[in-house]
Structures are given as structure tokens and as C-alpha cells.
């Protein structure tokens, strides 16, 4: 009887041993980890089998070294000030704003997580080649709710301040249709808040280190811009007129242009006008005689240059048409060669810091060597967007 009991005990001990051992994985050291991507490839290779498939024991060992995000919940505050609780990694997301999508690429977020994009992103073939086959969910002005619901996202990204009412409505309808969906609101185009948004998006996708790296790069670029005119008293700063792609439409004190001009060391000549984006009397420009004039192109009637337009021969024609405006030949900016065209690709979205660096260079030409906006642009595209686009081969500014 004793012998039988002992034998049974030994058999059970042998059966239980693997389970007891699993809490202390073999060969695991504190420094050695397996990334999520590596592990997923290994698992699929194991499951599908074949000559190169790893052994089960190897996959189990890799699992113990897996650098998984913690399963704990975390709360992220978006730009709208909403606190959103995450209880795991996002796996299916829909993005209605290209600015946030670009920021996600900056942080190395896996594009296969994105199951739906807005129609404007889909139209930007050169800049977003990886999303050309991704389902399109319309736009914030004409959302395709049916498509979004079909895609069953676990998170949707909308603007925080742009077309706020439309985005509020989309959020409400989606939260009604998809009770578990997380909605995040970000803009990703304002210098004042962009670094904060980058860090929040980094937290959402467990890319905190990447977010910190880019935030450092970005804030360093902003500091460089501010340094250009830092020693110049406000009263002596160059006066600037920015006109957007709609003729004679500019920005006043409440506009984004005002902030960007000020950070670049200039003074907005139409700061005091009522409204954020007033249309001005052409005579007012002649009367103000600004030191620097910047015309934004790339939108509306001036959809030339930038990432999408390689030929860009029409850009020079835009410049000539501005010089030919009544009275402009006598403007100081025109006579001094300080009338410039600036593509909205590098002024309006996450790349605003590149356009602002050009603006600082035009305000302070003697600082050009320390600003070098084209080198900054190239670094951004190579290191953060991983695009093989040389900004020198396209027209983002003219002349």
C-alpha cells in the first residue's frame, strides 16, 4: 500500500512540475525582452507550422520575455480635457483627422491598427501611401456612420476644436451605436498644445519613449524659432501680412496666424481687426506697407506645390500674379524681395513648426544659417515620417 501511494505521489509530482516551473522562466534576464512584433511573428510561425516553425518550448520561453504593456487601466486626457480610461491596447481604430494620423506615424504606431481613415487622408496618396487601401469613413462634415459601425472600432479620433459641433455630433452618435468605443479628441496643429498632444497620444499607444523623443525635437525647433528675434525689441520687429489661399483673407488676434507670427519674431499688421479671420480691404495692405508678406498656397484656387504636386510650375505664376496686384510693386516687401509663398502642408498641420521656421528666416534673414528650415523639414520626413521625399525636389516655399 505504501509503495503504491508513493508511486502515485511521484507520478503526480512529475505531472505538476511544468506548472510549478512556469513562474520562473528559464534563461530570462531582466534586460532581455521580446518585442510584441517579434512575438506575434513567432506565434504565427508556430501555429502555421512548416520547416522554420519554432518549437512550442521556444514560444513559451519567448512569452516569458515578452514586453507586454501592463494590463492595468490608465486614464488619458485628450485636448478637449476629457479623461478617457483605457483598459487594454487599442486594436481597431478609426481616424477622422489626418493631423492625428500623421502624429501617430511620428510615434511609430502600427498602421495595421488603423481600420478606417477620413477621405482627405485617402486623397493624400504621396503622403499617406500606407492607407490607400484602408476603408474610408467620409469626413467630419459627411461621416459614413454605417461604415464606421461596420468596422467595429475600439477607438475613434476626432478633432477637439475644428468643426467642434460636427465632431460632437459624430461622437454622440458613435457612442450610442458602439457603447464600448473610446473617443479621443485631438487637433495636432497648434504650437501651444502640440507637444502635450504628442505625449497623450504616446500614452494611448504605449509609445511614451517615442513621444518624448519627438517632443524634445519639436520643442527644440520652437525654441530655435523664438531665439531668432529674441533680442529685438517688440517695436522694432518686422511687420508681417499673412494672406491665406483665399485672396485678402488674413488672421487677426484670435487666429493661429497671429500666434505663429509672434513666435517667429514678427508683428501681425492686422492683429487688431475684428473676427479671427477677417477679409481685408486691398487698400489696407498698401497703407500698412508690411516688411514681410506671406501668401499661403496649396489649398482652394492655389492647389499647387507641396507633397502632391511634383510639377509645381504654376507656383511661379501665383507669385507673378501677386506682384501684379495694383499698388504692390511699390510695397517695401515686394521691392526688398520679402514676398514669399508658403505651402500650407508645412504651416497648417503638425508640420507648422517647419513653416514657422521659414517665417522666422524671412523675418530675420541674418539668422538663416542657424534656422535652416529645409534641413529641419528633411529630418522630420526621414526620422519621424519615414518617407523618401526630399523637400528640395518639391516646392514648399517660393522663392
Partner 1 sequence: MRKVLTLFLCICLVGLPTLAGAADVERTLSTPAPADGSVVDVTLSIEEIAAGGVIEHLPPGFVFAGSSLPANRVEANESRICFALLNETSVTYQIVAPEKGNGEITGEWYDFINQINGTIQASRIGVDGVGVTETTTSPGPAPTLIIAALAGLIIARGRRE
Query: 314-350: string of b/e by CB count within 10 Å (b at 16+)?
Result: ebeebbeebeeeeebeebebbeeebbbbbbbbbbbbb
> What number of chain residues touch partner 1 (CB under 8 A)?
40
- Min dist CB 95 to partner 1, Å, is 14
Q: By CB under 8 A, is residue 147 in contact with partner 1? A: no
Q: Of 145, 140, 107, nearest to 121 (Cα)?
A: 140
Residue 13 or 142 having the CB closest to partner 1: 13
- Min dist CB 21 to partner 1, Å, is 8
Q: By CB under 8 A, is residue 47 in contact with partner 1? A: yes
Q: By CB under 8 A, is residue 24 in contact with partner 1? A: no
Number of Cα atoms under 13 Å in the Cβ half of residue 14: 5
Q: By CB under 8 A, is residue 301 in contact with partner 1? A: no
Q: Of 292, 316, 285, 290, nearest to 302 (Cα)?
A: 316
CB 98 within 8 A of CB 349: yes
Please state whether the peptide bond connecting residue 399 to the residue before it is cis, i.e. omega within 30 degrees of 0: yes
Residue 55 or 324 having the CB closest to partner 1: 55
Contact positions with partner 1 (CB under 8 A) in 105-124: 110, 112-113
Residue 7 or 375 having the CB closest to partner 1: 7
- Min dist CB 39 to partner 1, Å, is 7
CB 331 within 8 A of CB 295: no
The DSSP output letter for 365 is: G
CA distance 143 to 31: 47
Q: By CB under 8 A, is residue 85 in contact with partner 1? A: no
Q: By CB under 8 A, is residue 152 in contact with partner 1? A: yes
Stretch that binds partner 1, among 32-40, 214-222, 291-299, 369-377 (CB under 8 A): 32-40
Q: By CB under 8 A, is residue 22 in contact with partner 1? A: yes
Task: Tell me the three cell numbers of residue 142.
Answer: 459627411
- Min dist CB 175 to partner 1, Å, is 19
Q: By CB under 8 A, is residue 33 in contact with partner 1? A: no
Phi, psi of 292 (to 5 degrees): -130, 135
CB 166 within 8 A of CB 138: no
Residue 391 is inside which H or E element, if any?
none
CA distance 59 to 48: 13
- Min dist CB 182 to partner 1, Å, is 15
Give the residue, chosen from 37, 51, 52, 388, that forms a contact with partner 1 under the rule CB under 8 A.
Answer: 37
Residue 6 or 287 having the CB closest to partner 1: 6
Residue 182 or 237 having the CB closest to partner 1: 182
Give the residue, chosen from 28, 38, 43, 199, that forms a contact with partner 1 under the rule CB under 8 A.
Answer: 43
CB 300 within 8 A of CB 246: yes
Task: Tell me the three cell numbers of residue 339.
Answer: 514676398
Q: By CB under 8 A, is residue 374 in contact with partner 1? A: no
Contacts for 369-372 with beta carbons within 8 Å, 24 or more apart?
370/224, 370/227, 370/228, 371/224, 371/225, 371/228
Give the residue, chosen from 68, 142, 209, 323, that forms a contact with partner 1 under the rule CB under 8 A.
Answer: 68
- Min dist CB 99 to partner 1, Å, is 22
Binding site for partner 1 (CB under 8 A): 1, 4-5, 8-9, 12-13, 15-16, 18-20, 22-23, 36-37, 39-40, 43-44, 46-48, 56, 59-60, 62-64, 66, 68, 71, 88-89, 91-92, 110, 112-113, 152
Amino acid at each position: 500500500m505504501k509503495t503504491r501511494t508513493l508511486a502515485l505521489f511521484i507520478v503526480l509530482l512529475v505531472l505538476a512540475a511544468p506548472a510549478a516551473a512556469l513562474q520562473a522562466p528559464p534563461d530570462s534576464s531582466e534586460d532581455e525582452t521580446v518585442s510584441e512584433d517579434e512575438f506575434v511573428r513567432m506565434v504565427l510561425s508556430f501555429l502555421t507550422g512548416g520547416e522554420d516553425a519554432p518549437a512550442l518550448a521556444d514560444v513559451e520561453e519567448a512569452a516569458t520575455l515578452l514586453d507586454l504593456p501592463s494590463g492595468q487601466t490608465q486614464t488619458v486626457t485628450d485636448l478637449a480635457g476629457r479623461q478617457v480610461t483605457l483598459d487594454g491596447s487599442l486594436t481597431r481604430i478609426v481616424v477622422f483627422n489626418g493631423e492625428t494620423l500623421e502624429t501617430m506615424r511620428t510615434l511609430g504606431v502600427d498602421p495595421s491598427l488603423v481600420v478606417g481613415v477620413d477621405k482627405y487622408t485617402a486623397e493624400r496618396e504621396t503622403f499617406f501611401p500606407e492607407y490607400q487601401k484602408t476603408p474610408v469613413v467620409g469626413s467630419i462634415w459627411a461621416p459614413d456612420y454605417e461604415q464606421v459601425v461596420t468596422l467595429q472600432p475600439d477607438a475613434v479620433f476626432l478633432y477637439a476644436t475644428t468643426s467642434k459641433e460636427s465632431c460632437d455630433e459624430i461622437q454622440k452618435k458613435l457612442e450610442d451605436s458602439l457603447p464600448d468605443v473610446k473617443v479621443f479628441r485631438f487637433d495636432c496643429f497648434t504650437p501651444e498644445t502640440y507637444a502635450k498632444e504628442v505625449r497623450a497620444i504616446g500614452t494611448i499607444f504605449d509609445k511614451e519613449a517615442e513621444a518624448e523623443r519627438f517632443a524634445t525635437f519639436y520643442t527644440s525647433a520652437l525654441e530655435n524659432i523664438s531665439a531668432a528675434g529674441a533680442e529685438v525689441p517688440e517695436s522694432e520687429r518686422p511687420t508681417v501680412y499673412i494672406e491665406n489661399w483665399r485672396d485678402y483673407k488674413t488672421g487677426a488676434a484670435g487666429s493661429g496666424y497671429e500666434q505663429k507670427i509672434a513666435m517667429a519674431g514678427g508683428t501681425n499688421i492686422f492683429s487688431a481687426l475684428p473676427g479671427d479671420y477677417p477679409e481685408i480691404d486691398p487698400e489696407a495692405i498698401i497703407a500698412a506697407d508690411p516688411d514681410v508678406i506671406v501668401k499661403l498656397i496649396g489649398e482652394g484656387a492655389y492647389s499647387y506645390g507641396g507633397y502632391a504636386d511634383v510639377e509645381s510650375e504654376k507656383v511661379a505664376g501665383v507669385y507673378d500674379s501677386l506682384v501684379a496686384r495694383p499698388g504692390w510693386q511699390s510695397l517695401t516687401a515686394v521691392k526688398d524681395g520679402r514676398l514669399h509663398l508658403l505651402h500650407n502642408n508645412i504651416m497648417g498641420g503638425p508640420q507648422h513648426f517647419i513653416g514657422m521656421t521659414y517665417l522666422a528666416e524671412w523675418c530675420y534673414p541674418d539668422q538663416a544659417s542657424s534656422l535652416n528650415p529645409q534641413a529641419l523639414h528633411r529630418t522630420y520626413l526621414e526620422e519621424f515620417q519615414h518617407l523618401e521625399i526630399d523637400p528640395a525636389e518639391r516646392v514648399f516655399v517660393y522663392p
